[in-house]
Structure 1
Amino acid sequence: MFVLAEMKHVIRTPPWKFHVKLNDAIAEELNRKLANKVVLNVGLCIALYDIVGLEDSYIFPGDGSAHTKVKFRYVVFRPFMEEVIIGKIRSCSREGVHVTLGFFDDVIIPPAALQHPSRFDETEQVWVWEYDTGGGSHDLFMDAGESIKFRVTAENFVETSPKGPETPSDTASTSEAPKEEAKIPYSLTGGINEPGLGLLSWWENS
């Protein structure tokens, strides 16, 4: 679920931080820049693990700051495919079951990946597994807050870099157009359509 990603970056250390050890100043800046941010095709950055190497620092004309090229390793959340994870149901919709891991909310289990057969209850706004008892069926509700075990089946990275400055014509055209939905930079798709997966309570007494 968590991996070490090796990265490189040029860190700018302002003059008022020169009294701090260079490693400490750089570590603080790396965490400020990366912690809780998604790096495209890398994952969700959690915390700095260690600094592998520092190159010489340079001060450029007109800027009193020190610029240092840093090689470092960062703890990143990026589950591998087919990994089984336990989370909690955040909500349900016709799009599927939305799961949270506490620090990461962008997990969805689509209808096709639920236990079969399942239906969406419009009144309760929950998905229901129609469990076959042999002589009929028993409804098992997927309520918000329940612990759920799922298998990671896909991941999706979306480029969310800010666009360049808007021109007056862009502003005029966008003021009339509906606002775009905020893009999710990193999301996971899961599945529970196999024995042992789904709500933990389903299998506790099995």
Structure 2
Amino acid sequence: MFILTKISDLIKLPPDTFNEDPITAIKYQINKKYANKVINRLGLGVSLYDILDMEDGQIKPGDANAYIQVTFQLIVFKPMIGEIITGFIKSSNIQGIRVTLFPPIDSKNNQSNSKYLSDAKKGSVEFFDDIYIPKEMLFEGCYFSVEEQIWVWNTDGSDETKVFFDLNEKIRFRVEKEIFFDIKPNMKEIQEKERLLEEKGEDALTNESNEKVASEDDPAPYIIIGSCQTDGMGLVAWWEE
């Protein structure tokens, strides 16, 4: 599910970091650039693992920032084809099931269910929800209930043997395919973010841009396609009984 990848990159250190410990500042800038970001054709960056090498810093004419060539290892979320993963059903429609690796939220206290959270600490991933199980990759005998807006598996054709893909339930699936979309940056949006950052700081940038980002219906840069077609797949609860 996770791999280590070696990356060499020119890391920028702003002037306000010059009085800090250089290693700490470099680690922060690497995580800022790569953590929770999709690296095309590779996977989702998680966190810096270690720094292998770095050269002396340089300051370019007319630019107050320092630039340091750094070679490092990054932890990347990249499930292998054929790998079995456990997640949670986020939503369903006539096309199939969407799975999240976030533990479900308890609406009463807005916290993750403690049972699921304990499972997450054992190795589940809590930051990825662009996983789709198309209808053609579900068990034979599955159909979509329009009334309940969930998928139902009629295991042998009788009503007594129906089982349900209920929302928020833990589901086990097999990774079949990964899809990357090379999404080009929106230059107008980048310029607007730079203006907000310069005028009002990072807090204002986060508050004023999040609504716009959340409302846009852009394709996810990284999508995983899964299947539930063999014994042991589907809701974990089915196989525990």
Output the TM-score relative to the length of structure 1. 0.88
What aligned pairs does 1:144-163 form with structure 2 within 5 A after superposition?
144-163=167-186
Partner of residue 237, structure 2: 201
Q: Which amino acid in structure 1 is aligned with residue 55 of structure 2? A: E
After superposition, the Cα gap between the structure-2 partners of 1:14 and 1:37, relative to the gap in structure 1 and judged at 3 Å, is same
Matched, 1:192 2:228: yes
Gapped regions of structure 2 (runs ≥ 5): 103-126, 190-215
After superposition, the Cα gap between the structure-2 partners of 1:74 and 1:14, relative to the gap in structure 1 and judged at 3 Å, is same
Q: CA RMSD in A?
A: 1.9
Matched, 1:121 2:145: yes
Output the TM-score relative to the length of structure 2. 0.75
Partner of residue 16, structure 1: 16
Gapped regions of structure 1 (runs ≥ 5): 167-179
Partner of residue 96, structure 1: 96
- Counterpart CA distance in 1 for 2:168 and 2:65 is 49
State which drifts further: 82-91 or 57-66: 57-66
Equivalent residue in structure 1 for 2:161, among 135, 138, 141 = 138
What aligned pairs does 1:176-191 form with structure 2 within 5 A after superposition?
181-191=217-227
The secondary structure found in structure 1 opposite 2:155 is: strand
- Cα contact 1:131–1:137 (8 A) shared by 2: no
The structure carrying a bigger helix percent of its residues is 2
Q: Which has the larger radius of gyration?
A: 1
The structure carrying a bigger strand percent of its residues is 1
Q: Which amino acid in structure 1 is aligned with residue 92 of structure 2? A: C
Runs of 4 or more above 4 Å deviation: 163-166
Per-residue deviation, residues 32-82 of structure 1 (Å, max 9, x unmatched): 111111111111111111111101211111122211111111111110000
- Cα contact 1:13–1:65 (8 A) shared by 2: yes
Per-residue deviation, residues 135-179 of structure 1 (Å, max 9, x unmatched): 77621110101111000000000011214559xxxxxxxxxxxxx
How many equivalent pairs are there?
Answer: 192
Percent identity for Structure 1 against Structure 2: 40
Q: Which amino acid in structure 1 is aligned with residue 179 of structure 2? A: N
